[in-house]
Structure 1
Amino acid sequence: MEKLWANSGDSHLVEPDDLFDRSLSRSLAERMPRSVKDLDGGWETIHVDGQEFRRRLPRPGRRLTDENGLTVPDRAPGANDRKMRLLDLDSEGIWAELIYPSLGMWTSSIRDPELLAAGARAINDWAIEYQRFSPRYVSAATIPFLTVSSAVAEVTRAANLGFHAASLPVVPLIDGDDWHRESWEPLWTALAETGLVVAFHIGSEPHEASSRNGTYYRGPGGALLNYLETTYGGQRAVAKLIASGVFDRHPSLRAIVSEGGATWGPFVADRLDEAYRQHASAVRPRLRRLPSEYLYENVYASFQHDRSAVAAVTAMGWRNVCWGSDYPHIEGTFGHTQKTLHELVGDLDPATRHRITQGAFQELFPHVPPAPDGESSPGPLDAAAR
């Protein structure tokens, strides 16, 4: 089949096991996120700042199989190697990626501002070297969020290092000011002035906040319910920015919600507009435009397998929708990317297909060189990819 090249609005780095040991003091490194796997028992324990979180692992040696019998390794071979990763991307037809941390996403459960700031710097110093290897890599800087001043300082440092996106958790604190509060205004100002894209990855709320709000389920249907619940955090985060006037005050600021689907966008836009009109007497602050206009212009979303996400573009008018591979995570598309893309967008008109596979991503990150045309690839190590 013809190769459909696509940019990914959701991919991940895999941090080396010794990242924090080699970049932080021992007293700080031992409190940063680390994974201990019990392959025989089938469990992984995440240790974070004195806390432990357990989750099930796939069975040892398990390989995923799709409906056509295609088997996929639990982890892509290039996951830990920035040179081999380009080979994986070329074979899958993925050109550029917005890349979040993996283990680093557990930093949202750290409660010590000093530890979080030091850990974020360590992650970012490593991630920027990954990005510098190829312009096809767009690493999202980890921003410490426990104090406004530390968040602003790392945004400024990240921009000076060359980052183009700033990763924020969908909920900033367990107790305290949420994203719609006025106290965060210096952060939005810094992001707007530096031009960094606000990157919300679903499932990035502090683990304690999730369990306290009842979003972790056990028993029948628990796995499906938990997966569903992770999608709501990103929707709430961008709704807070819209409703509190962040995009009104900073019209150049843009945000993306990664791995949370896209069909929710028009629904959230409609609900915010209805509230703005029908409950006008209670609305504060007043906005210069309808809430839906900010969502349709300032907010982007990436989807993975969602068939309905395409309709958000073709039938609902939200053009800020891009596809994402979730490389190299187990629920991603590695091994069947082309099959997935052809099923999702293969029958679309060329302009709409390009918008979803490349155009929306290019608006957010115009510095990335364009993807090759047709089936030919320039190769992962030529001048355009170094």
Structure 2
Amino acid sequence: MPKIWTNSGDSHFLEPADLWESRLPRRLADLTPKADKDPDGEYETVRVDGQTFRRKLPTSAAVQFLENTRKAEGIRDARLRLGDLDHEGVWGEVIFPSLGMWSSTFRTPELLKACMRASNEWALEEVASVSDRYVVTAQVSTLVVEDAVTELEWAAGQGFRSVFLPTRPHPSAPDWHMADWEPLWRAAEQAGMVLAIHIGTDPVDLTSGKVGVAYRGPGGAVMNYTETTFSGQRFAMKLVASGALDRHPDLKVLISEGGASWIPFLGDRMREGYRQHHMAVRPKLTRDPKDILMTQVYASFQHDESAVAAYTAMGYRNVMFGSDYPHMEGTYGHTQDTLKELFDGVPVETRLRITQGAFAELFPHVPPAPADEV
């Protein structure tokens, strides 16, 4: 079949389960995440960094998905992964961690710092070294600003071009809009590191008994899934309103898997708030908040028809396709069908901007994708 080639602003890799445990000294390794299933298989007890909580295990549908995911050999093997990508028509891709999604749950700075370095060294050895099509996200501490800056600068020196940050740091650390994080934004801009934010990575509330669940009852599954998208919007809002992006005009942000049509809407709301409540606004910005959001924040989507309209009808140029390989919400196994549906009747220049152009702006070091065959 003729292919539409695309880059992807969102994908995932599954590290070895014992990555941290095997690379850290025992006193720290004992604090890394560990889980024990109940005999009936319905719940498990998780221990992480001196904290214990229980969570419900996946439903039968989710278990079936996990079984199917194991067939995607590239989730664990960076060499086999290239075959999966070629089959799907995906060229370059931003790769997020799996273990690293725990980072905002750690509360011991020394532990988090050590885990992030171990993950970064492993990613360099096992993933980044395999292909220049891979944009592997570095990981940094979100507990201590100085640790984050040190690791970001080290990662940039090793060739990383992007750094993964959770949508919100641990509650014991300052939130992203606070001035404490200014050294990190400055360091990222100077190093040319893209801030890569994946939705749904707010810290886990270990005391609520509702880990991963915001709603129960009728509609809960859809509401819980939808709820995860808002965390990425809040991150973008914080960096615009706090002046972080205004002060660092060369700093770029990628919000992955959260859709794209929310960017113009959020920009309108922020512009209105800034204009109508200007007497109370602090800090004052040198540029319109909507313009900052529309130019410095990129957003990836996988199935949303409205994302294409955000470019064609609302003037948002930084729309980027993301396959979310190989997650349930993603397009693995039907990427070409999805692309052809999304871009049926859409001008070629629009398609190329969304599938390749926006990605190439953020990561110009990735070789160009092959020519489309349609």
TM-score range, shorter-chain basis? over 0.9
Alpha-carbon distance in structure 1 between the residues aligned to 2:269 and 2:34: 40
Moved more, 192-201 or 73-82: 73-82
Q: CA deviation at 1:208?
A: 1.4
Deviating beyond 6 angstroms after TM superposition, the runs of 4 or more aligned structure 1 residues are 37-40, 212-215
Match of 1:143 among 140, 158, 161: 140
**Counterparts of 1:237-386 in structure 2 under 5 Å?**
237-375=235-373
Distance 1:60-1:204 versus aligned 2 partners, 3 A rule: closer
Q: Does 1:20 align with 2:20?
A: yes
Distance 2:274 2:307 in 1: 26
Match of 1:59 in 2: 60
In structure 2, the CA distance between the partners of 1:252 and 1:173, relative to structure 1 (3 Å rule), is: same
Structure 1 residue 72 displacement after superposition: 5.8
Cα 1:157–1:72 change in 2 (3 A) is same
CA distance in 1, matches of 2:173, 2:278: 27
Find the counterpart in structure 2 of residue 163 from structure 1.
Answer: 160
Residue equivalent to 1:105: 101
Judge conservation of contact 1:42–1:59 (CA < 8 Å) in 2: no
Q: Is the 8 A contact 1:200 1:258 kept in 2?
A: yes
Amino acid aligned to 2:122:
W
Q: Deviations over 1:56-105 (max 9, x none)?
A: 325289656xxxxxx96565122111111000000000001100001221
Which stretch shifts more, 269-278 or 171-180? 171-180
Distance in structure 1 (CA, Å) of the matches to 2:224 and 2:207: 10
How far apart, in 2, do the equivalents of 1:45 and 1:327 lie?
28
Distance 1:39 1:75, change over 3 A: farther
Would you say the 8 A contact 1:40–1:60 is kept in 2? Answer: no
Distance 1:263 1:209 in 2: 32
Gaps of 5+ in 1: 65-70, 377-386
Q: Is the 8 A contact 2:53 2:206 kept in 1?
A: no
In the alignment, the residues of structure 1 paired with residue 219 and residue 80 of structure 2 have an alpha-carbon distance, to the nearest angstrom, of 38
- Asked whether 1:79 is paired with 2:71, we answer no
Find the counterpart in structure 2 of residue 67 from structure 1. Answer: none
1:183 equivalent among 180, 183, 195: 180
Match of 1:31 in 2: 31
Provide the residue aligned with 1:4 in structure 2. 4
Deviation at 1:307, TM superposition (A): 1.4
- The answer as to 2:115 corresponding to 1:114 is no
Partners of 2:99 and 2:57 in 1: CA distance: 15
What is the DSSP-based 3-state SS (H/G/I as helix, E as strand, rest coil) of the residue aligned with 2:177?
coil
Q: Give CA deviations for 1:87-128 in whole Å, capped at 9, x if unaligned.
A: 000000000110000122112111111111111111111112
Cα offset for 1:309? 1.2
How far apart, in 1, do the equivalents of 2:79 and 2:211 lie? 42
Contact 2:167 2:199 in 1 (8 A): yes
Instruction: Report deviation, 1:137.
Output: 0.6
CA distance, structure 1, for counterparts of residue 316 and residue 350 of structure 2: 11
SS in 1 for 2:11: strand
Q: What TM-score do you get using the length of structure 1 for normalisation?
A: 0.90
Instruction: Name the CA distance, whole Å, in 2 between partners of 1:347 and 1:209.
Output: 48
Counterpart position of 1:380: none
The CA deviation at 1:222 is: 1.7
**AA aligned opposite 1:21:** E
> What is aligned with 1:383?
none
SS at match of 1:146: coil
Give, in whole Å, the separation in 2 of the partners of 1:262 and 1:237. 14
The residue matched to 2:60 in structure 1 has which SS? coil
Could you tell me how far apart the structure 2 residues matched to 1:296 and 1:210 are? 37
* Counterpart contact for 1:179–1:237, Cα < 8 Å: yes
| 1:92 equivalent in alignment to 2:99 | no
Q: Matched residue of 1:198: which SS?
A: strand
Q: Which moved more, 1:221-230 or 1:48-57?
A: 48-57
Per the alignment, in what secondary structure is the counterpart of residue 163 of structure 2?
A: strand
What whole-Å deviation, never above 9, does each CA across 1:199-237 have from its counterpart, x for those lacking one? Answer: 110011101189699971222222211111111111111
Letter in 2 for 1:302: S
- Whether contact under 8 Å (1:48, 1:107) holds in the other structure is no
Which residue is 1:193 aligned to? 190
TM-score (norm 2): 0.92
Q: Does the CA-based 8 Å contact 2:55-2:211 persist in structure 1?
A: no
Distance 1:39 1:125, change over 3 A: farther
- Aligned pair in 2 of structure 1 residues 179, 87: CA closer, same or farther (>3 Å)? same
The alignment of Structure 1 onto Structure 2 pairs a total of residues equal to 370
Instruction: Look up the match of 2:232.
Output: 234
Taking structure 1 as reference, are residues 36 and 200 closer, same or farther at Cα in structure 2, changes over 3 Å only? farther
Q: Percent identity?
A: 54
Any idea what the Cα deviations from partners look like across 1:156-184, whole Å, max 9, x if unmatched? 11101111001111111314421111111
- Contact 2:8 / 2:91 at 8 angstroms: preserved in 1? yes
